[in-house]
Structure formats: structure tokens, C-alpha cells
A and B are shown apart, each in its own frame.
Chain A
Amino acid sequence: MTDPIAMSIKVLGVNHRTAPLDVRERFTHGAHEVPGALARVIAAGASGGVLLSTCNRTEFYLVSDDEPALETVWSLLGERLAGAPSGGAREYGYIVRDRDAVRHLYRVSSGLDSMILGESQIQGQVRDAWEASRAQAGPVLHRLFQTALHVGSRVRTETGLGMGTASAASAGVAVAGKIFGDLAGRHALILGAGDMAELAATCLSDQGVQITLVANRTQERARAIAERLGGRAVSLEEAWTHFASTDIALCSTAAPHAVVTWERVGPVIAQRRGRPLCILDLAVPRDVDPAIAQIENVFLYDVDDLQTVAAQATARRRDEIPAAERIVEEETNLFWAWYGGLGVVPTIKELRERMEQVRAAELERALRQLGALSAEDRARVEQFSQSLMNKFLHQPTIALKAAAEEGRGYGLLEALRRLFGMESPE
């Protein structure tokens, strides 16, 4: 049986710093897999768990002892590496404990630990993880995740960590926004159907841009993206005429040479009567002939341009790290104070009341058996029982308070309640 005295908050996982993409994607858990995985960890002795699984990290947040539950997590992750040339999940993983574990989650939810510094998507992913693990989280992790969302919001509101755009795809959105203002209702044409094209198209779609067409050499993949984003799949040859009407053209094909050439789209763009056209060329080698940019109403940006915008945003965000870290530290202290003192005072009070009842009952029984005693002797016996009880309770009280200050109060309280048959708090 698990010894709850040793229970504390732990994070065990892998992230973009410790594991390459091909390993991380093996560890990714879908929402439907979360309850099963957590059930196994809880069966191994953890009193609560939350599983946060994104493309950049898979992390188990546990209130658990050091060994059996953690071993289970390693096994769970290790199973997903079957066939992979590696020394197991531990090779890529890390464990963070107690106060550092709290700080870790707060940094994660703030975007301080993200691959793209300050990105806001993680906030929603932390919320989703909490929701998916709600039945198995337990009171401590409930509180931890609740406060983590609060910390994420504080960092985004009170610092500039989330300002600007920090990826080439989102930089493309920002640049298009500087041409058109509000992007909602604008039309976009996507050339290519690779991952980059899909990511950038999703970024545009998130801003309300209507993805009207997805053009690709092979129709099947184009159709899949078009269906997901509400557009129509066409062949590349069909796409050129649409340069007359679209607002944004996003190019990310795998072609070895420029496919958007003056000959193909020059005359078509002339029909726009001066309406601006934003072309985002995310392909390497480039998809768009640079000469197209000479047309007055065409704004052409390649990967280097967009990375310049993204790098500026990242640089500005870096300046905000100290302010964000201060908030994280402040909130970590608050949580730790709460966690440390969790139920200590009421539990000590309840324990003393119980002991006092036992002492009073036993004293009465002993006095009955002893027969006639002088008032002085009776007082002496009573004082003895009182003193004995205080001595017995002194060390547990000190230990409990010390554990609380070290952040291990929760586990110790659980043990105390079990040992003395006290009911667990709500």
C-alpha cells in the first residue's frame, strides 16, 4: 500500500526541450486516452492526476509517492516507444517536484516554457487537460490547475509576453492585418497542402478569413484541408484565375522552382483595379517569382520577411520575461502557502479534541477504579493525564506544522486522518 506521508506534487513528462518531434508525437495522448492512463497511475498509488498532452509536451501532474506511481508513468510512456531505437522513456523525460512542480505548471500556462515564447494556445490546452482529468485530479490538482489558468491570464494581461506574433504563420496573419485591417470576411487562396500550408491556413481561418480554395498538385490532400477549413479543392492550373478576386494568396508548395510567375498571374492581377493583394510565400525554395512584387497593389512576403517579423516579436517578448517570472514566483508562493497549510489547523484541533475525549473518558474510568482519593490526589492524576497527552501530541503537531511549511502537509494529513480514523475533508 502507498505510504501517503511521502505524497507531494510531482510533474513527470517530456517536452520540446527534452525530446525530438518524432519521439514527442509517440507520447501524445488523445482526450479519449487520458482517463485510462490516469486510472493506471492512480491504481499505482497516486491520489490524483492530470495529464497535459500537446504537440510540444506530455506531462503527468500527480499527487503521489515517489516510486510506484512514477514507475507506472514511465511504463505508460515506454510502451509508446515500442520499436523505437532508444533507451526508454526515461531517456527523454524529467521529474519536477513540489514547489518546482507548481512553478513549472505556472510557467507552462504563462507560455514561458513554450517553444514559441508567450504563445497563448497553451492556456486553452491547460484548461482542456484539467477538464479531461477533472474526475481524477483530486482537490490539490484542481486548485493547482485553477490557479495556473489565473497565472496565465495575469501574465498575459499584466505583461507584454503575448504581444506581437512569434511564428512565421502568425507573422503572415499580422502582415495581412496591416494591409486589410480586420481580416474577417476576407478571402484566401492556398497553394500547396503540406503541414506548413495547413498551419498557416488555420491561422488565417482563426482570424475569420474564408479559405475559398486549396490548390495542390495532388487533389486528395487538398480536398482534406479544404473540407476541414470550409473551402474547395482545385488543381494548380485552375488557381491562377482566382488571383483576380482573392485578398490573400498563401503559397507553400514543394515545387523546386517558382510556380506563381508573372506570365501566369500578371495579367490576372491587372484585373483587380488597384485592390491590394497580399501574397505570403512560405515555401523554400520560393513559390512566387519576386518580380510579382513590382505590381503596385501586390504585397509579397517570403519566409525571411515573415521570420523577421516573428523575430522582432520574440525579442520584444524576451524583455517581458522578468516581469512574467515575478508573477509566477508570487503566485507560486501563494499556492505553496495554501498547500503547506492545507487543513493543518483544523486537523490539529480535531486531533486534540479526540485525544481530549479519550483522556477524559480514561481518567474517569481510572478514578472510579482507584476509589476514594483526596481532592489533591485527584488533581495530580488529572494533571498527569493532561501532561501525558500533551507530550504525546507535541511531536506530531510539530512534525505536521514543519511538513506543512515544507509543502508536504497534504500527505501527512492524509496519513494522520487514516491513522486516527478521522474523516477526510470535503
Chain B
Amino acid sequence: MIVTLHLVALTLYALATALVLAPFMGLGSPSRALAIALPCAGAAAHVVALAQLTLVGLGPALSMLAFCLVLLQLASERLLRGSAVSFFTSPLATGLVGLAVLSGLAPGTDVPARNTWLVLHIALSVLGLALMALAFIAAALYLLQFRELKARRFGQIFQLFPPLERLDQLNRIALVAGFPSLTLGLLLAVGYGTRFSGGMGFHVAKAQIVWGLFTWVVLGWAVWVRLVRHWGGRRAALASIAGFSAVLLVYVALKLVQPGAERFL
């Protein structure tokens, strides 16, 4: 049932991806209603599947991340009044769901009891990560649009991408919302570990702690330069991209050091 629901969500996300990328293939802009309805329907199937998952393990974590991205995509659509964010989030979410299905949606061997602490910890941490990804996407869109505007090119990117200031605003909102989310997620992990028998209730790899803290520091730095140092525009976009890239690189490096197909880390 979980796999079937994931496959339904995957199909709907894939259709939504084809739809949003259609203008780049010269097929004309899709109807806005359809571009929203498809990911909405996919998210509906997805949430039913997630409710039945343990949320522990690589597959469930990727699935959760994809779900958060789709929710953020829909929220951004409303904020930006355009579908540019979905150029990135839609294929990314589709790919993540596909990877989740391929990795297997069954939990690892040391599965803790599913309780509110754990669910909140995972949900908030993944949401923080998804918001960081959204900030990265907004920053990438910003730099692309910036380059086109400076070079006086008025092609597809100029036409389809949102205005610079709106992308800058999205980047800022995603970072500012992502930091408390990730902080709370990490604090819940510490609280969970303290409350239940002096540990997390299941094996926590050092890599997991290192990566969690590293991500938190990077996100905190990105928020600090925006809010305290008043970075904006191109500089802030570059900082977001550098930060998120570093987080991804460290993830890959740690995954190579401590391989384990069944775990997120």
C-alpha cells in the first residue's frame, strides 16, 4: 500500500514536472490550475503514505524531504504568483520520491517506537532542510535572472522567471523560516535522547550528529549574513548556494566514510 501510494504520487509529480517544463520545449504555458492541481493530488497521496511510514531510514527520509519540497513549492507558487520555483522543485521532488522507492521504504533494523518526539524531530529537521533547499533554488533562480537582465537577454528565463526582488524575498523567507525549524528539530533530538534511556533509542552514527550540526551552523551563518550583515541580492544568493552546496558535499563525504544504504546517514 505504501509503495503503491508512492508510485501514485511519483506519477502525479512526474506529470506536473512535464507540465511545468513544457514552455522550455516550446509547448506553451500550462494552465495554472492544472499546474497546481497535479502536485496537490500527488501530495494528497503522498501524505497518506507518509502517515503509515516509520519515517526512519533513507527511503522514508527522502520521501519526507520530497513531500516538504512539494508543500513549499505550492506555498511559493502563491507567494511568487508564478511557477518558476517548480522548474526545480518539481523534478527534484519527483527524483527524490523515485529514489525513496528504489532505496526501499522499509525501516532499518533498529527502529525506535514512533512517538510525537520522534515524528516532530524528523518532520522539523526535514522541513528545515527543505527550506534550505528552497533558499538554494530561489538563489539559483535569482542568479540566472540576474545574469539575463545584466546581459540584456530577454528569452525564456526573462519571460518565465519571477522578478529579482521577489526571488530575493523568497530566499530570505526560506532561510529565516528554515533556521528555527532545523534548530527545533535538533533540540528535539537532544531532548528525545535525554528522555528515553539516555540515548536516541536507536543507534545514532557520529556522522549523523556531525552532519546535523554542520547543517545547522551553515544555515545559521546564512541567516546571520542576511539579517545582521544585511546581505541581499546577488551576494546573499551566492552565500545560499555556497552553504547548501557545502551541506550536500559534507553529506556525500560522510556517506562515503560511513556507508549504510538503509540509513539516511
Seen from chain A, the residues whose Cβ lies within 8 Å of a Cβ on chain B are 175, 177-181, 273-276, 293, 296-297, 299, 301, 305, 308-309, 312
Distance between Cα atoms of A175 and B158 in the complex (Å)? 9
Which residue of chain A lies nearest to B166 when distances are taken between CB atoms in the complex?
A181
B163 in contact with A178 (CB, 8 Å): yes
Question: Which one of B145, B150, B163, B235 contacts A274 once the chains associate, using CB atoms below 8 Å?
Answer: B235
Distance between Cα atoms of A274 and B233 in the complex (Å)? 8
Closest approach, in angstroms, between the C-beta of B236 and any C-beta of chain A?
9
Closest approach, in angstroms, between the C-beta of B151 and any C-beta of chain A?
10
Chain A contacts for B145, CB-based, 8 A: 178
Given A179-B149, A299-B149, check contact A276 B154 (CB 8 Å).
no
Distance between Cα atoms of A175 and B233 in the complex (Å)? 17
Which residue of chain A lies nearest to B81 when distances are taken between CB atoms in the complex?
A181
Distance between Cα atoms of A362 and B198 in the complex (Å)? 118
A276 in contact with B163 (CB, 8 Å): no
Chain B contacts for A297, CB-based, 8 A: 233
A276 in contact with B164 (CB, 8 Å): yes
Distance between Cα atoms of A409 and B169 in the complex (Å)? 63
Question: Which one of B158, B165, B235 contacts A180 once the chains associate, using CB atoms below 8 Å?
Answer: B165
B162 interface hit (Cβ, 8 Å): yes
Closest approach, in angstroms, between the C-beta of B143 and any C-beta of chain A?
12
A-B contact count (CB 8 A): 41
Chain B contacts for A178, CB-based, 8 A: 145, 149, 158, 163-164
Which residue of chain A lies nearest to B149 when distances are taken between CB atoms in the complex?
A299
Ordered nearest first, which 3 A-B pairs have the shortest CB separation? Answer: A181-B163, A181-B166, A181-B165
Contact with A along B153-167 (1 / 0, CB 8 A): 010001000111110
B234 interface hit (Cβ, 8 Å): yes
B233 in contact with A276 (CB, 8 Å): yes
Distance between Cα atoms of A273 and B234 in the complex (Å)? 12
Q: 20 interchain pairs (CB within 8 A)?
A: A178-B149, A178-B163, A179-B164, A179-B165, A180-B163, A180-B164, A180-B165, A181-B164, A181-B165, A181-B166, A275-B233, A276-B164, A276-B165, A293-B150, A299-B149, A299-B150, A301-B152, A308-B154, A309-B154, A312-B154
Interface residue count for B (Cβ, 8 Å)? 17
Closest approach, in angstroms, between the C-beta of B134 and any C-beta of chain A?
18
Chain B contacts for A180, CB-based, 8 A: 163-165
The residue in A178, A180, A297 that gathers the most chain B C-beta atoms within 10 A of its C-beta is A178
Chain B contacts for A293, CB-based, 8 A: 150
B232 interface hit (Cβ, 8 Å): yes
Which residue of chain A lies nearest to B164 when distances are taken between CB atoms in the complex?
A179
A274 in contact with B232 (CB, 8 Å): yes
Seen from chain B, the residues whose Cβ lies within 8 Å of a Cβ on chain A are 145, 149-150, 152, 154, 158, 162-166, 169, 230, 232-235
Closest approach, in angstroms, between the C-beta of B167 and any C-beta of chain A?
9
Which residue of chain A lies nearest to B80 when distances are taken between CB atoms in the complex?
A181
Distance between Cα atoms of A354 and B14 in the complex (Å)? 74
Closest approach, in angstroms, between the C-beta of B148 and any C-beta of chain A?
9
Chain B contacts for A275, CB-based, 8 A: 233
Which residue of chain A lies nearest to B28 when distances are taken between CB atoms in the complex?
A160
The residue in A179, A181, A293, A296 that gathers the most chain B C-beta atoms within 10 A of its C-beta is A181
Closest approach, in angstroms, between the C-beta of B256 and any C-beta of chain A?
38
Closest approach, in angstroms, between the C-beta of B160 and any C-beta of chain A?
11
The residue in B149, B154, B232, B233 that gathers the most chain A C-beta atoms within 10 A of its C-beta is B154
The residue in B149, B152, B163 that gathers the most chain A C-beta atoms within 10 A of its C-beta is B152
Closest approach, in angstroms, between the C-beta of B192 and any C-beta of chain A?
42
Chain A contacts for B230, CB-based, 8 A: 273
A181 in contact with B162 (CB, 8 Å): yes
Distance between Cα atoms of A178 and B149 in the complex (Å)? 8
Distance between Cα atoms of A117 and B12 in the complex (Å)? 39
Distance between Cα atoms of A177 and B164 in the complex (Å)? 9
Distance between Cα atoms of A274 and B234 in the complex (Å)? 9
Chain A contacts for B166, CB-based, 8 A: 181
Question: Which one of B152, B163, B169, B235 contacts A179 once the chains associate, using CB atoms below 8 Å?
Answer: B163
